[in-house]
Amino acid sequence: DTGVSQDPRHKITKRGQNVTFRCDPISEHNRLYWYRQTLGQGPEFLTYFQNEAQLEKSRLLSDRFSAERPKGSFSTLEIQRTEQGDSAMYLCASSLEAGGQSNEQFFGPGTRLTVL
């Protein structure tokens, strides 16, 4: 399967714990995005990378959230001191930016986080 993969698919944690999610983009894609989707809503942009550089962060991304893409391939999203309001589906997407042409984003299946 050459699509975007995310791990784990489901995560249940207790309030106050830290969690980390992983995203593996399509191999030749240089851009990687994180979105958050709550029940009955559309995905909301959190942050994105071009290669290893984090180019933009949403105001939704509090100090408890941090994302990395250390070698320009896979990315991790960490949430520290989780709160019940962090319960959501966390979606990763990737795209290829080449020669000034911006191409479509391909989404992974998401990681569903439940904070008890």
Binding site for another protein (CB under 8 A): 4, 31, 33, 35, 40-45, 48, 56, 58, 91, 93, 95-97, 101-110
Query: Minimum Å distance from CB 43 to another protein?
Result: 5
Instruction: Give 16's DSSP letter.
Output: T
**What b/e sequence results for 15-29 when a residue is b if at least 16 CB atoms lie within 10 Å of its CB, and e otherwise?**
eeeebebebbbbeeb
Query: Minimum Å distance from CB 44 to another protein?
Result: 7
Token output for 57 = 């962060």
| C-alpha to C-alpha distance for 106 and 83, rounded to whole angstroms | 29
80 or 106: whose CB is closer to another protein?
106
9 or 81: whose CB is closer to another protein?
9
- Amino acid at the residue 62: S
Nearest to 28 by CA among 51, 5, 56: 51
Query: Minimum Å distance from CB 48 to another protein?
Result: 6
48 or 65: whose CB is closer to another protein?
48
36 or 115: whose CB is closer to another protein?
36
Token output for 44 = 């909301």
